[in-house]
Amino acid sequence: MLESMSYTVPKLTDFSTSALDSAVRELLSALDQESAAVSSARNQNEVAHDVEWKQLWEEWKAFRDRWLARKNGITTQINDLWLKAAPKETKRDVGQRVNELKAKIEVEVGRAEAHLQRQESDDQRHLIESSGKSYASLDDAWRATQGVDITLPGIRRPLGAEHPVIKTMNEIIGVFRNLGYSVEEGPEIETDYYNFEALNFPPNHPARDTQDTLFIAGQESKPPRERLLLRTHTSPVQIRSMEKMKPPVRVVCPGKVHRNDAPDATHSPIFHQVEGLAVDTNITFCDLKGTLDHAMKALFGSSVKTRFYPSFFPFTEPSADVQISCIFCGGKGTRDGGPCRNCKASGWIELLGCGMVDPNVYGFVDYDPAKVSGFAFGMGVERIAILKYGVDDIQLFFNGDVRFLEQFG
């Protein structure tokens, strides 16, 4: 329909008042004709069905784009051919006329749209009234008039499932929620202060090296503590939590972390952690051991045993690594007549790190180390998911292979 419209924006050479008046009248006349053609395209004596309405709306969109499209619409053309080409002494008058024309075009396009909406609503109401039934839309009413075979099977929408890493993380969070812990989250892009300094990492600590940490480029002009990086652990959330709340504090901090590791079967530059923190009066290492022993039994079964042995972390003192008895060989070190590969015949699997919060950390959050004590722990979610589901390559969690993920549905 619109292809038959012959109006094109003329290139003005005469910018006198009479010439501008003539050009404006010609444009407005074309606008009225095309708008009327769109508004009256439907046969008023018949009810339009869904296919016809689709065509009518496509014609309105063509009308709208012809007049308002940014790239080559008529409003753009009058701006280029009239306003930009106008001599300096007439630019003010031409600019005022162009702005008025743009406003009228927008109003007319909107009026045509509203007219079609009213017509479509009238058709819908007519169909509903003639059927004597209630329908949610014109399409539903039209389909009902054609008849629907209710014996045909419906369209089943397949249900999704949690990713095994997210599922495992939610299980871990659930264990600690049942112990009274709340969940705290924080930004993945952190400052050096929250990721290192406030966690008692000295300036020359290896974790600050670019071989381990991914720093944001262009931060050289900032003070060292304000430079941005991708967090290497979720421990900064513990600092942020202590800054905004006073003891007692019991939080778990799940989230994604980043380290400059080459991807292989046991390493990934992106992985997930769940860290925990408890600060209160008279918190001891016995509380830490009891909490983690309960959590491991909740995750891997009541027969699992735990053991703690000395380790080092800058933000805890004393620190410990936690092992659980091998869930594959029952802690025996042998399976199927040979050494257990999962625990390397030791009967134990290293799983997480923990310790009592170093008193130096409390100085960054205005806690009094003479009055409070606490413990912290952290575990890799993928590490636990690998054990729970018997996966032998951490990269399988990140490849997006639907064949692998469907096994956990």
Domain boundaries of the chain, sorted by first residue: 2-146, 164-408
| pLDDT tens by residue, the chain, 409 residues | 454 457 888 988 888 999 999 999 999 999 998 888 887 766 555 666 666 778 888 888 988 998 988 888 899 999 888 888 889 899 899 999 999 999 999 999 989 888 888 887 777 677 666 656 665 665 565 565 555 566 767 777 777 788 999 999 999 999 999 999 999 999 999 999 999 999 998 877 887 777 688 999 998 899 988 999 999 999 999 999 999 999 999 999 999 999 988 888 888 999 999 999 999 999 999 999 999 999 999 999 999 999 999 999 999 999 999 999 999 888 898 988 889 888 889 999 999 999 999 999 999 999 999 999 999 999 999 999 998 888 888 999 998 888 888 888 6
Q: Round to whole Å and give the CA distance between 94 and 382.
A: 67
Q: Which amino acid is at 183?
A: V
pLDDT computed for residue 367 by the predictor? 94
So what's the pLDDT on residue 128? 62
Other residues' Cβ atoms within 10 Å of the Cβ of residue 128 = 17
Residue 37 confidence (pLDDT): 85
- Give 164-408's CATH code, choosing from 3.40.1160.10, 3.30.930.10, 3.90.580.10, 3.30.70.20: 3.30.930.10
pLDDT of amino acid 159: 73
What pLDDT, on a 0 to 100 scale, did the predictor assign at position 160? 75
Amino acid of residue 145 = T
Is-contact 400 270, C-beta < 8 A?
no
Query: How are beta strands 182-183 and 249-258 bridged, if at all?
Result: parallel
Cα dihedral value 82, 87, 92, 98, nearest 10: 0
Q: How far is CA 272 from CA 60, 96, 275, 368, 392, in A?
A: 51, 60, 10, 31, 17
Which pLDDT does position 99 carry in this prediction?
Answer: 92
For the entire predicted model, the pTM comes to 0.61
Spatial separation of the C-alpha atoms in residues 185 and 279, rounded to whole Å: 18
